[in-house]
Amino acid sequence: MRPWLVVVGVVFLTLAAGTLAALYFTGDGNPTVSTVVTPYAPFTLGPNASERLTFGGSNGTSEQFNLVWRASAAISVVLQETPTCPASCGVGHVLVNWTSNVSGSWAGSGPFRFPIQCLLENPGAGPATVSLTGRAVATNPTHLALDFELMLGAGSAGLLLVGGLAIFLGIFLRGDPYGSAPGVVSRSAEDVEEIAGEDSPDH
């Protein structure tokens, strides 16, 4: 057994585990937030007139949209998602509507089908001054770049391979595969004289 190889293998396996943990947990960092604010400055909506406005936004794992509007006279306001058919074909999924109001606000969570449309209608005999502001917020978790993820994955695989090989060799490799040098035998002076006497030509 080679204990030092086992220690080296454990170190490499620990590094591999740390690399895999970094690859797994780094993607759960601070999320990216995309905000789209669409203000419509005050404009005049004539009597018995209608208007179609749109609010942009982006999709994400979490979506929110809010609308604030006001008018100088009572009007009808319908907030809806974009129809699945062409925009001129009719009404999409209605989020909220006001039948005869001078102001309103709404906030909701998605997912939404952008752009969101706002249909305005002035049923009165006189003009109405209208202003609106829409705000769309999308949140997405952060992710590492693909090439960086591949690099970390390849690095951790290499560390696992080297660490496992080192532990295997450390456990199964003989401690002295080449054999040890013969030991030195110490002898007393009497043994040396006796050996010398046996090797003498007189014997």
Q: What is the topology classification, in CATH, of domain 31-140?
A: Jelly Rolls (2.60.120)
Instruction: Give the pLDDT mean for 177-193.
Output: 55
Confidence of residue 159 (pLDDT cuts 50, 70, 90): confident
pLDDT number for residue 112: 87
For 52, 53, 101, the CA distances from 72, given in Å and listed in that order, are: 18, 18, 10
Query: Is pLDDT of 153 > 90?
Result: no
Instruction: Give the pair of three-digit tokens for residue 10.
Output: 């454990």
> Up-side HSE of residue 140: CA atoms within 13 Å toward CB?
10
Strands 94-109 and 32-45: unpaired
Residue 63 vs residue 19, higher pLDDT:
63
pLDDT number for residue 123: 94
Confidence of residue 39 (pLDDT cuts 50, 70, 90): very high
**DSSP category for residue 161:** H
Confidence of residue 3 (pLDDT cuts 50, 70, 90): confident
Confidence of residue 21 (pLDDT cuts 50, 70, 90): low
